[in-house]
């Protein structure tokens, strides 16, 4: 796990604040569309169907990636993007990461805290396009699974840049998404990612190290790392 080496210690999770440059990336209509996810979680809490993206346990693609690398946190910092009910975040905490997780849906975060009493994971309500400035460059491991593809395509690039900015020097970003061929038209949500869209995560000195089609070719598994210097 060389890409995870050489990261620094960080203070306790920061107070949430809104970076001005990211405010400009989000308009009222975008927020209205995103409200569908809060409605789905609220419906599930009221006895309706569970969110279709909720696996009910750690996502198999994340577990396979971690086990293939004998991943161990060793007290380093991890962040789970769009954490839902928190299964992936709890898994990383069990591996020894000091884990932070966030979701756009207040209902999802409340449920995650309730489902994992006594958890060491720090759960926050936050918008991927409107993240705390104190999170920038902080995390040794960032896991993005299905969040960007849940957003309208005109937001994909901004969301990818926002997520990429969270990775610490020497850190790693894992992107898990379902696949879409170039030029294919889909009526989302979701809007699966093309191979070209994975390049949007490679910002500044964050380098795309590996891209694979996994899960019988239906998912992307992309690993990026930032130089430690």
The answer to whether residue 76 sits within a structural domain is yes
The answer to whether residue 2 sits within a structural domain is no
The answer to whether residue 31 sits within a structural domain is yes
Residue 26 has pLDDT above 50, yes or no: no
- Domain limits for position 210: 18-226
The answer to whether residue 112 sits within a structural domain is yes
Mean residue pLDDT across the chain: 86
Kindly report the CATH number assigned to the domain that includes residue 102: 3.40.50.150
Summarize pLDDT for 93-130 with one digit per residue, the tens: 999 999 999 999 999 999 999 999 999 999 999 999 99
The answer to whether residue 1 sits within a structural domain is no
The answer to whether residue 12 sits within a structural domain is no
Q: Are 164 and 197 in contact (CB under 8 A)?
A: no
Number of domains in the chain: 1
Banded pLDDT at 189 (limits 50, 70, 90): confident
The answer to whether residue 191 sits within a structural domain is yes
Residue 50 confidence (pLDDT): 78
The answer to whether residue 124 sits within a structural domain is yes
Residue 41 confidence (pLDDT): 79
Per-residue tokens: 219: 């998912």
């Amino acid at each position: 796990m060389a890409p995870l080496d050489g990261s620094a210690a960080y203070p306790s999770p920061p107070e949430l604040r809104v970076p001005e440059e990211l405010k400009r990336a989000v308009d009222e209509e975008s927020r209205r569309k995103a409200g569908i996810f809060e409605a789905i979680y609220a419906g599930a809490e009221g006895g309706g169907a569970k969110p279709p993206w909720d696996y009910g346990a750690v996502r198999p693609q994340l577990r396979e990636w971690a086990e293939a690398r004998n991943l161990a946190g060793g007290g380093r910092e991890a962040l789970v993007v769009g954490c839902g009910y928190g299964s992936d975040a709890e898994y990383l905490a069990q591996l020894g990461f000091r884990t932070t997780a966030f979701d756009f849906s207040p209902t999802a975060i409340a449920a995650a805290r309730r489902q994992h009493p006594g958890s060491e994971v720090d759960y926050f309500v936050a918008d991927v396009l409107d993240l705390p400035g104190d999170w920038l460059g902080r995390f040794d491991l960032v896991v993005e699974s299905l969040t960007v593809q849940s957003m309208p395509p005109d937001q994909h690039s901004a969301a990818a840049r926002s997520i990429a900015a969270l990775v610490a020097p020497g850190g790693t970003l894992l992107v898990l998404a379902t696949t879409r061929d170039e030029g294919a038209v889909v009526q989302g949500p979701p809007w699966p990612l093309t191979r070209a869209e994975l390049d949007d995560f490679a910002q500044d000195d964050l380098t795309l190290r590996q891209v694979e089609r996994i899960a019988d070719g239906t998912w992307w598994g992309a690993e990026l790392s930032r130089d430690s210097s």
